[in-house]
């Protein structure tokens, strides 16, 4: 089975993030594999181990994305592809990434493509579904279970906390939700082996694309951190006084009543 | 000069850091309460290859050099020291003897299973009458045909409960003193091997130290480690090899304490401001930072010297001694910065304070380290 994983490098949101002039500062920020993409890598490895084949991890990113690809290889993926847009593109959006991936997949015979349900940085959740549309294959998002028998696929899908069971067939694109599996930590020998695994680097030129073909369809106007949480107010007096004050606040200050 | 880790080591270290932060730190309080390391963490650590650090690649290990091992030990030092000790004693004194002195047959038999963590290694030198004066041991090994019969006891043996493979020192020729000691590879299943009482320690909970008794224990002659009569020298060599690693673990614990101190001092307010704004606290933080910087430079210099094949007897002893002093000083200052909460069991600081104390005692007391340093100084004068 030809299995592909779409992987994105994101900021580590557990670390401190600084924003200036409407942009997140790269300096000092820590980068990780988008956590939802880790489920995709883990699932790809498990499916390969069950059904045979090969796992290729693909990212659209910059030179530094190599580190996240190496981590996926250390987890057990077989090959990695870095589509480096650093020199060609100033900005991109979900359309840009999906278009580039469409060109990449044009001559591939993918049986299964897995991605994260959403990236924790921009959170569009669009790249997977857009790519499936371009490739003309079925897709299922937010999956929490994946069973493949021959060409037939049975999926459990998270629907706002409920479970929907979907039957479909290969070739297929899925996006992975928390609960699908528990991603492994790369083993130390795996890390040492990862550097010997193939990592192909492409630019959009290699995919017969130019800048205009993939120009972003959206524009980011501003980026800012959420306001700091203010200290709560403690109401005083007996119960009836507190209720009166609360109602007054809800009516006059917060204007929600 | 180059103070950077290689790309490989940096990558390994980051992954170990992530694992420690996400998985081990999460159960640190549980280890402390139950005096037991959760099996899940042990299994994950085995799968990650943490039990294989210094074992050569041909026997299924990572084959890291000393700088690489120290980089990993530093990361492991940043969490519960009982967990760190399980891995440290296994990958250090518990397996180094076989790696350095073992025959091909011994390596083939023991190292692959030790690399996978299936067999845990332990080092049994100390006896009730042979602590710092290790040559005064009473355990005897008498050769009978193709076997040795070992009688005696050991105590304070780290990893004794979980251990499968023990490097045991015993007297083969009482007339020769230190030159009459031989080292053996002993398996816990050998007839006559008896696990004694498990010690109740001040710290390092989750890591179990115990007594061992040998009653007419039969050890095949092929399990002599190194040459007969070289056991004392072997023991010193194995201990010397582990010293930079201990310094690295203490470095990691000290760094973790500094993180705790910075977090707490930034949050804790007294007299209308975070205490990090107060000079008394700032000076303590500066003091901690100074000690960490010096220990870091020393640790990796000794590790680098080891990898260059240089004689490190003096420098490794200095690193072990200084590392334990830094850790104890940092732990003391960390309790002071935290004040009352630093003394409470539901916060990790007091745990480090207790765990730090043993580092001045085990694998050669501070006094023994000073003897080694002075002897090397005298030797260098000649």
The span from the CA of B146 to the CA of B230, in Å, is 19
User: Residues of B with CB below 8 A from A187's CB?
Assistant: 47-49
**CB-CB under 8 Å, B47 with A188:** no
Write down the pLDDT at residue A122. Answer: 84
User: Residues of B with CB below 8 A from A195's CB?
Assistant: 7-8
Q: How confident is the model at residue B171 (pLDDT cuts 50, 70, 90)?
A: very high
Q: Provide DSSP, B247-302.
A: HHHHHHHHHHHHHHHHHHHHH-EETTEEGGGSHHHHHHHHHHHHHHHHHHHHHHHH
Mutate to test the interface with A, among B7, B10, B11, B17 (most CBs of A within 10 A): B11
Minimum Cα–Cα distance from B20: chain A residue? A185
Is the pLDDT at B304 greater than 80, yes or no?
Answer: yes
Write down the pLDDT at residue A88. Answer: 87
- HSE-CB at B190 with a 13 A cutoff on CA atoms is 28
ipTM exceeds 0.90: no
Peptide bond into A94 cis (omega under 30): no
The span from the CA of A37 to the CA of A181, in Å, is 12
DSSP state of B27: H
Across the interface, of B19, B23, B49, the residue whose CB is closest to A189 is: B49
Write down the pLDDT at residue A224. Answer: 86
Mutate to test the interface with B, among A75, A188, A192, A193 (most CBs of B within 10 A): A188
Considering only residues B158 and B242, tell me which one the structure prediction assigns the higher pLDDT. Answer: B158
- φ, ψ dihedrals at A211, nearest 5°: -55, -40
CB-based contact, B225 to chain A, within 8 Å: no
CB-based contact, A197 to chain B, within 8 Å: no
Helix pair angle (B81-91, B349-357), 10° resolution: 40
Tens-place pLDDT, residues B78-134: 999 999 999 999 999 999 999 999 999 999 999 999 999 999 999 999 999 888 888
Tens-place pLDDT, residues B63-91: 999 999 999 999 999 999 999 999 999 99
User: Residues of A with CB below 8 A from B44's CB?
Assistant: 185
**CB-CB under 8 Å, A195 with B49:** no
Chain B closest CA to A188's CA: distance in Å?
5
Write down the pLDDT at residue A126. Answer: 95
If one counts every other C-beta atom within 10 angstroms of the C-beta of residue A121, the result is 14
pTM to 2 decimal places: 0.88
User: Residues of A with CB below 8 A from B15's CB?
Assistant: 71, 74, 185-186, 188, 191
Q: Which long-range contacts (CB under 8 A, 24 or more apart) does B372-379 make?
A: B372/B313, B372/B314, B372/B317, B373/B314, B373/B317, B373/B318, B373/B321, B376/B313, B376/B314, B376/B317, B377/B314
CB-based contact, B19 to chain A, within 8 Å: yes
Write down the pLDDT at residue B228. Answer: 92
**CB-CB under 8 Å, B62 with A188:** yes
User: Residues of B with CB below 8 A from A67's CB?
Assistant: 11
Mean pLDDT score across all residues of chain B: 95
The answer to whether the beta carbons of residues B256 and B229 sit under 8 Å apart is no
Is the pLDDT at B200 greater than 80, yes or no?
Answer: yes
- φ, ψ dihedrals at B253, nearest 5°: -65, -40
Considering only residues B342 and A229, tell me which one the structure prediction assigns the higher pLDDT. Answer: B342
What is A2-214's CATH number, 1.20.120.330, 3.90.650.10, 3.40.50.620, 1.20.1280.50?
3.40.50.620
The answer to whether the beta carbons of residues B298 and B253 sit under 8 Å apart is no
Nearest to B74 by CA among B207, B243, B255: B255
Write down the pLDDT at residue B86. Answer: 97
Chain B closest CA to A247's CA: distance in Å?
33
Write down the pLDDT at residue B91. Answer: 95
- φ, ψ dihedrals at A20, nearest 5°: -140, 140
Q: Which long-range contacts (CB under 8 A, 24 or more apart) does B346-352 make?
A: B346/B29, B348/B28, B348/B29, B348/B260, B349/B257, B349/B260, B351/B28, B351/B32, B351/B80, B351/B81, B351/B203, B352/B81, B352/B253, B352/B256, B352/B257
Q: Which residues of chain A have a pLDDT value below 50?
A: none
Residues facing B169 on adjacent strands? B183
Across the interface, of B18, B23, B50, the residue whose CB is closest to A188 is: B50
Write down the pLDDT at residue B49. Answer: 94
Q: Provide DSSP, B159-211.
A: TTTTEEEEEEEEES-GGGGGGGEEEEEEETTSTTEEEEEEP--SS-TTS-EEE
**CB-CB under 8 Å, A185 with B15:** yes
Nearest to A108 by CA among A81, A130, A126, A128: A81
Q: How far is CA A172 from CA A46, A60, A135, A159, in A?
A: 16, 20, 10, 19
Mean pLDDT score across all residues of chain A: 92
CB-based contact, B49 to chain A, within 8 Å: yes
Chain A closest CA to B200's CA: distance in Å?
33
Across the interface, of B7, B8, B19, the residue whose CB is closest to A185 is: B19
Is the pLDDT at B3 greater than 80, yes or no?
Answer: yes
CB-based contact, B283 to chain A, within 8 Å: no
**CB-CB under 8 Å, B15 with A189:** no
Q: How confident is the model at residue B235 (pLDDT cuts 50, 70, 90)?
A: confident
Share of chain B above pLDDT 70, in %: 100
Task: Tell me if residue B150 falls in helix, strand or coil.
Answer: strand
Composition of chain B by helix, strand, coil, percent to 5: 60, 15, 25
User: Residues of B with CB below 8 A from A191's CB?
Assistant: 8, 11-12, 15
Write down the pLDDT at residue B273. Answer: 96
Write down the pLDDT at residue B175. Answer: 94
Compute the count of residue pairs across chains A and B with CB atoms less than 8 Å apart. 40
Domain boundaries, chain A: 2-214, 227-257
Considering only residues A145 and B8, tell me which one the structure prediction assigns the higher pLDDT. Answer: A145
Catalytic residues of B: 363
Write down the pLDDT at residue B334. Answer: 98
**CB-CB under 8 Å, A192 with B8:** yes
**Which run of H or of E encompasses B138?**
none
Tens-place pLDDT, residues A27-56: 777 889 999 999 999 999 999 999 999 999
B116, burial (CB in 10 Å: exposed 0-12, middle 13-18, buried 19+): middle
> Per-residue b/e over A185-213, b at no fewer than 16 CB within 10 Å?
bbbbbbbbebeebeeeebebeebebeeee
> Can you tell me which residue has the tokens 């069971």?
A165
């Amino acid at each position: 089975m030809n299995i592909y994983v779409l992987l994105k490098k994101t900021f580590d949101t557990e670390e401190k993030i600084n924003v200036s002039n409407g942009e997140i500062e790269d300096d000092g920020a820590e980068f990780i594999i988008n956590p939802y993409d880790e489920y995709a890598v883990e699932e790809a490895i498990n499916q390969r181990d069950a059904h045979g084949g090969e796992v290729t991890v693909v990212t659209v990113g910059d030179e530094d994305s190599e580190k996240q690809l190496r981590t996926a290889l250390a987890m057990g993926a077989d090959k990695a592809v870095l589509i480096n847009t650093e020199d060609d593109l100033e900005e991109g959006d979900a359309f840009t990434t999906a278009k580039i991936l469409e060109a990449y997949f044009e001559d591939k015979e993918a049986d299964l493509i897995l991605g994260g349900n959403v990236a924790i940085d921009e959170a569009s959740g669009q790249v997977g579904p857009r790519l499936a549309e371009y490739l003309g294959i079925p897709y299922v998002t937010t999956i929490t279970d994946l069973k493949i028998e021959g060409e037939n696929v049975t999926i459990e899908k998270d629907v706002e906390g409920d479970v929907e069971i979907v039957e479909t067939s290969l070739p297929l694109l899925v996006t992975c939700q928390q609960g699908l599996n528990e991603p492994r930590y790369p083993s130390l020998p795996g890390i040492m082996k990862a550097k010997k695994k193939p990592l192909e680097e492409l630019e959009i030129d290699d995919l017969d694309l130019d800048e205009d073909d993939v120009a972003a369809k959206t524009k980011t106007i501003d980026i800012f951190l959420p306001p700091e949480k203010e200290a709560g107010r403690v109401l005083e007096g007996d119960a009836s006084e507190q209720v009166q004050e609360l109602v007054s606040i809800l009516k006059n200050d917060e204007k929600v009543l | 000069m180059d103070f950077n880790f290689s790309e490989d080591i940096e990558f390994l270290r980051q992954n170990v850091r992530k694992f420690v932060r996400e998985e081990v730190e999460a159960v640190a309080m549980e280890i402390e309460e139950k005096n037991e390391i959760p099996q899940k963490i042990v299994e994950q650590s085995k799968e990650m290859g943490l039990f294989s650090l210094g074992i050569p690649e041909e026997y299924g290990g990572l084959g890291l050099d000393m700088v690489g091992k120290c980089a990993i030990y530093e990361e492991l030092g940043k969490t519960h020291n009982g967990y760190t000790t399980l891995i440290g004693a296994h990958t250090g004194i518990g397996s180094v003897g076989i790696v350095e002195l073992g025959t091909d047959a011994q390596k083939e038999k023991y190292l692959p299973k030790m690399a996978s963590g299936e067999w845990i290694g332990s080092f049994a030198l100390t006896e009730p009458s042979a602590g710092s004066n290790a040559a005064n041991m009473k355990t005897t090994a008498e050769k009978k045909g193709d076997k040795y019969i070992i009688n005696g006891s050991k105590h304070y043996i780290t990893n004794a409960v979980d251990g499968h493979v023990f490097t045991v020192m015993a007297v083969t020729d009482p007339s020769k003193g230190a030159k009459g000691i031989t080292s053996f590879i002993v398996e816990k299943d050998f007839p006559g091997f008896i696990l004694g009482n498990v010690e109740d320690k001040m710290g390092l909970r989750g890591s179990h130290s115990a007594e061992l008794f040998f009653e007419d224990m039969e050890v095949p002659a092929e399990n002599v480690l190194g040459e007969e009569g070289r056991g004392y020298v072997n023991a010193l060599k194995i201990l010397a090899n582990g010293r930079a690693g201990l310094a690295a673990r203490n470095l990691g614990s000290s760094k973790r304490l500094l993180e705790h101190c910075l977090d707490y001092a930034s949050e804790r307010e007294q007299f209308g401001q975070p205490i990090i704004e107060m000079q008394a606290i700032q000076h303590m933080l500066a003091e901690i930072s100074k000690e960490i910087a010096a220990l870091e430079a020393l640790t990796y210099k000794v590790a680098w010297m080891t990898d260059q094949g240089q004689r490190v007897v003096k420098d490794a002893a200095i690193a072990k001694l200084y590392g334990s002093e830094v850790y104890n000083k940092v732990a003391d200052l960390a309790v002071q910065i935290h004040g009352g909460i630093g003394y409470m069991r539901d916060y990790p600081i007091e745990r480090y304070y207790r765990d730090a104390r043993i580092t001045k005692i085990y694998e050669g007391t501070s006094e023994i380290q000073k003897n080694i340093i002075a002897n090397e100084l005298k030797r260098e004068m000649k």
